Chains A and B, each alone.
Chain A
């Protein structure tokens, strides 16, 4: 194939592009630089570009994981470290569970067609529309009084799985439809059972869809605040909850709080750079293809 050629544009166009990129990324860069500053530097009036980067704020936030003694830490507040572990566990477990269940359900809906695609997309849309704030009261009541799983990671994971399932089923459906049925028939001819067909033939073919679904699920679970705040107790708090708790304090320690914010932002940022194509597919699948 011949090399792709690009049109030349005038300089004003490139200036606009640069301005847009600065606007999109600027606040994130600013958070990063602030998290690398001492509070003296944050408060000073002088220009913000000249400072000695330091990891102190990260050391303070992650003090219970340090393998060395940081001499500026006099008292180690373990809240954030514990929250990070909680966040990781609940996001990862709920992602895995959602994907497994979502895949199976999507496959059944596509291949055995005992419900129209319309019904499914209508109910997905309906579920997408439910704001987390609406789930707040009932989930709190039910989890506390009926299931007795308030304040546990299992309780939080259960809500996240339920919240994400409709979207995951919807996305995966559009990928499974594209798998040629002949492949499955051939496998069945060779003596594979329905479960073997599903795990050994279909799953490997819809990897891009799985990636998109996994990223979206992980992101929702990792970023969610409201329900985690209502359900979690001291030991199962996730990172967003601890961040919100620490900014309602009177005296905000900007350096440390920006470091925790940065740590919370890192996994989604990594996903964006690694799999932006899948993310865009997932985002546009709903609207553009219909």
Chain B
């Protein structure tokens, strides 16, 4: 009797620690944040002392030019970065999907940039962009060109931040698309080759369509992560000059720590979260749709037999 009881309790015992930690340190804070976004709250107050202001934070933000600017910068950054990385990453994967010696060593070197700390990535690039000691301007000068104001001009600063992110994350897309390429059915490729498809035709009509499900998931994963970028930009430009590189995460942390407006920062976090929820649901819905479609196709194929 006692053993049966123990067995029935086992799954709960196994789950309990993880569930408790996540409830206390993840779900509770998120709920707390949603509540805090309706408050006028500064860091020296306990939350109970903060004044309830309803939707004031949200409406105030919509009329706040600086917030709208950084919302726009965030979206621009994510769109530009993800587009460049997808093109480069998928292109490289198609190009390097060959039977060559040392492919695994190559992949190892390519994942280095994403393993090291974003802070360190920012540090390296800040050094390379440095107006006098950085390698870019040193090279430009020795070739007789004018130095470029990498981090001190708004447009260049945005470009610099994009370059650093592309350097760090293109390998992610590359590795995922390479894995997708190598798991494609060989028979389809062989059939195309026998039918006389050229290299381009194979890529456009066979490889890309077959890779599409993985590519979409990769795209969305990368897009979600692009909204979370913070440290690299913090180290490189700290959002400046002006607001040219101030993405939303950065603005949230500055609103909380410099302007001491916790309620407003929470409302901003909520806007960011809503954006990401929409993206995530798009991804999940897509996954479901694809699964449903393959199931339907398989069923149709079985009925034909």
Contact = CB atoms under 8 A, between A and B. Distances in A.
Contacts of B126: 247
Given A105-B18, A273-B108, A137 B115 contact: no
Contacts of B133: 42-43, 254
A92 B258 CA distance: 31
Given A105-B18, A158-B25, A129 B276 contact: yes
A276 B107 CA distance: 8
Contacts of A194: 6-7, 10
Count chain A CB atoms within 10 A of each CB in B101, B124, B167, B230 and give the residue with the most.
B124
B36 interface: yes
A246 B287 CA distance: 45
Given A134-B252, A276-B107, A20 B92 contact: yes
A108 B43 CA distance: 40
B128 interface: yes
Interface string B167-180: 10001100110011
A108 B92 CA distance: 41
B120 A287 contact: no
A280 B111 contact: yes
Interface residues of A, number: 95
**Majority secondary structure of chain A interface residues (helix, strand, loop or mixed):** helix
B248 interface: yes
B120 A6 contact: no
A102 B231 contact: no
A15 B32 CA distance: 55
A261 interface: yes
A212 interface: no
Contacts of A131: 227-228, 230, 249, 272, 276
B28 interface: yes
B156 interface: no
Interface string B150-188: 000000000000000001000110011001100100000
Contact of B221 (A111, A166, A287): A287
**Majority secondary structure of chain B interface residues (helix, strand, loop or mixed):** helix
B18 A254 contact: no
A243 interface: yes
B116 interface: yes
B30 A138 contact: yes
A258 to B, nearest CB: 7
A186 interface: no
A163 B27 CA distance: 11
A278 to B, nearest CB: 11
Nearest to B3: A193
A141 interface: yes
Given A130-B30, A138-B32, A269 B115 contact: yes
Contacts of A240: 117, 119, 231
Given A271-B115, A280-B179, 8 more contacts: A27-B124, A45-B138, A112-B14, A128-B224, A158-B25, A165-B18, A264-B116, A264-B120
User: Which A-B residue pairs are the 10 nearest by beta carbons?
Assistant: A162-B25, A223-B117, A138-B29, A133-B249, A108-B14, A112-B11, A105-B18, A276-B108, A131-B228, A138-B33
